[in-house]
Amino acid sequence: MKDNRTFTMIKPDAVANGHTGAILDQIIKGGFKIIAMKYIALTDQKAGQFYEVHKERPFYGELVDFMSSGPIVAAILEKQNAVEDFRKLIGATDPAKAEKGTIRNLFAQSIGANAIHGSDSAENAKIEGDFFFSALERF
Ligand code: DAT
Ligand code: MG
């Protein structure tokens, strides 16, 4: 699959703590073009559906509660090698292990409240983007 797009969410902790602007700035300066974007609140049901792949993990309930605890910013991003480059920009899942200067290193609180999502494959980027955006909402 063509790997020039990825999907992201600025998570409830980062939005609530006022980091939306700084994170978007870092994404744009990182060379990513915004193809679609919305400011939206996930219901419990929608958050559960989005993270369905993690249903069997012990942190699933906590993850769903957290992701529906406040508004998020969801976006589709474009760049060559988007998935891999974006994972580099955001850093490791656990902010204590995230490389210096990465978005999670700068803005995340904990492994659960870790500021930002990035798709892990081109295939999942497409599925996740389609979960949030219709064709009319993309540029
Ligand atoms: P990533 O978001 O880096 O792709 P993941 O797909 O393994 O990480 O997990 C999805 C989200 O679930 C992650 O961003 C935060 C939460 N999570 C992962 N591991 C966790 C843990 N051990 N305890 C609490 N929450 C966790
Ligand atoms: Mg993941």
Distance of CA 117 from the midpoint of ligand 1 (Å): 9
Ligand nearest to the CA of 114: 1
Atom of ligand 1 nearest to the CA of 51: 10
- Is pTM beyond 0.85 here? yes
Name the residues annotated as catalytic.
117
Question: b/e map of 120-139 (b: 16 or more CB within 10 Å)?
Answer: eebebbbebbeebbeeeeee
Residue 105 Cα to ligand 1 middle (Å): 15
pLDDT, tens only, 64-77: 999 999 999 999 99
Give the pLDDT score at 3: 85
CATH superfamily, with its number, for domain 2-89+117-137: Nucleoside diphosphate kinase-like domain (3.30.70.141)
Q: Is 59 in the pocket of ligand 1 (CB under 6 A)?
A: yes
117 Cβ closer than 6 Å to some ligand 1 atom: yes
* Percent of the residues in the chain that have a pLDDT greater than 90, as a whole number: 98
